[in-house]
Amino acid sequence: MNETGVVPPPASGGWREGDDPGRRRFLDLPAPLKLEAGGELPGVRLSYETWGELAPDGSNAVLVLHALTGDTHLQGPAGPGHPTAGWWPGLIEPGGPLDPARWFVVAPNAVGGCQGSTGPASPAPDGRTWGSRFPLVTVRDMVAAEQHLADALGIDAFACVIGGSMGSMRSLEWAATEPDRVRRLLLLAGPAASSADQIGWARPQIEAIRTDPFWHGGDYHERPEGPWRGLGVARRIAHLSYRSGYELATRFGRSPQDGADPLDGGRYAVESYLDHHADKLVHRFDAASYVRLTQAMNHHDVGRGRGGTAAGLARVRALTRVAGVTSDRLYPLAEQEQLADGIAGSGPLHVIESPYGHDGFLIETAVVARLLGELLAEPV
């Protein structure tokens, strides 16, 4: 209990060295990771989970890449080492599009994250927590680390690379950086480059964390309390961009929570909903990882250093399908149209009709499963 009488969550809600690994496996990179912004990151470890078995010729490998607060636990129940159940259920199951009897599925935690891969909450080579010393890691740097994982697993090329939101950014970078290693590509609810609107949404989230009195310049991990209030505010802001105004209006309207009149100090139901999602996140995520990953998303630009967006997209040679959500106000459909139009191997844009906003790519599992199954069935 702190001085205000509140029992705070741990300074970091992320996975820490010594915690139960659960289903995670780990790879230590053989050399420091050279960073796009300059310098290098030594001692990089990637955590990942796999399902199925790699075929002798390596032809059945599928890479699934998570969004901002996702992790390696794509499928499976909550349990030791995994505070929440798999974040994309329904894809890896017998008869599903990623049936483990047919496919070898790999789901890594991004560098900079907080679920086993090296990030701000991880120990640096000197034994101290990285904290404020953790450098800027871009989406392109994440992909460079994941290439080492593919090499270590014996995967010359992926049959498919899949991701939504930040996972779409990573998937696109995979296909643009290593076009010969990606046979098929499924991009969901992501852009070719982050827009001013998206960077604007991100700014108050980052500032909410950095202005928390327990931020301590990013060096809070060994203290009894971290910037969980700021992380909670960031999550509330972000969640509003993940869902649609229509959904919030139809689910909550102006209803009070538990009948308590907001004029007498009660909360509106929508406020309670946002509080709930904030509380969940602060118990499973790290605030400094949230800052660094959000910055990586801000810097996402497939055309950077490649002659612009059109030239960046032209590097992609994979058989590609692009899908967006009708009610997505964070990454609107026009951005997926740009991807579908600019990638030579792409068919027409697939529109997911959903009231759930950006999160529709996670919620409309049946639609995504159908798209994925159709893509995997196409010859390349």
Catalytic residues, by residue number, are 165, 328, 358
Contacts of 163 (CB under 8 A, 6+ apart): 64, 65, 66, 67, 169, 170, 171, 186, 187, 188, 190
Tokens of 168: 């779409």
Q: Phi and psi (nearest 5°) for 103? A: -115, 150
Q: What is the DSSP string of 50-99?
A: EES---TTSTTEEEEE--TT--S--SS--BTTBSS--SSTTSSSTTSTT-
Q: What is the DSSP string of 141-190?
A: HHHHHHHHHHHHHT-SSBSEEEEETHHHHHHHHHHHH-GGGBSEEEEES-
Contacts of 168 (CB under 8 A, 6+ apart): 65, 187, 188, 189, 190, 191
Amino acid at 321: R
Give, as one character, the DSSP assignment of residue 217: G
